[in-house]
Amino acid sequence: MVSPMSRVVFAAVPAVVVLLAIPSAADAPQTGHVTVRVAGLRSNDGQVGCALYNSAKGYPKDASAALERLFCPIEKNAAVCTFHPVPAGTYAVACFHDANKNGKLDTGIFGIPLEGVCASNGATGTFGPPSFRDAKFDTSGAARDVPVRMKY
């Protein structure tokens, strides 16, 4: 014969197993947002395109390699693009002033940009775009501000 105490223990075991299987908030990856504050725009025309990358692959020329892409309005020669949710990690941002609002960076001969461009950390390239290594920054998953200045 099974004692009443044994019944309670056997009934409680499945409940404990279920509770242990549920991830706690402490187990969840930390996520926050990355706010890119773009200054130095020549005009309020068009929009600002911003791309957030989490690796050097495609940075900054291949927008399809970006983790996320946004187009943000311009007001008072500045723009704010906010990416969220962004888990803790290493990232780099590349932005351009899409003055004619055609959704792409217009370039001239030899691929030289005809519109303003900028990258996180003020990174610039020599005879080409900046590297991910120069533009990268870390975030802990909390809110992170990334100020950038458009260059023409």
pLDDT tens sequence across 34-54: 999 999 999 999 999 999 999
Its pTM stands at: 0.81
Q: Does domain 31-149 fall into CATH 3.90.1200? A: no
pLDDT classification of 27: cutoffs 50, 70, 90:
low
Q: Nearest-5° angle of CA 15, CA 21, CA 23?
A: 125
Domain spans of the chain? Answer: 31-149
**Residue 50: partners with Cβ closer than 8 Å, 6 or more residues away:** 36, 38, 69, 70, 71, 72, 81, 83, 93, 94, 95
Length of the chain: 152
- Span 85-127, pLDDT tens digits: 999 999 999 999 999 999 999 999 999 999 999 999 999 999 8
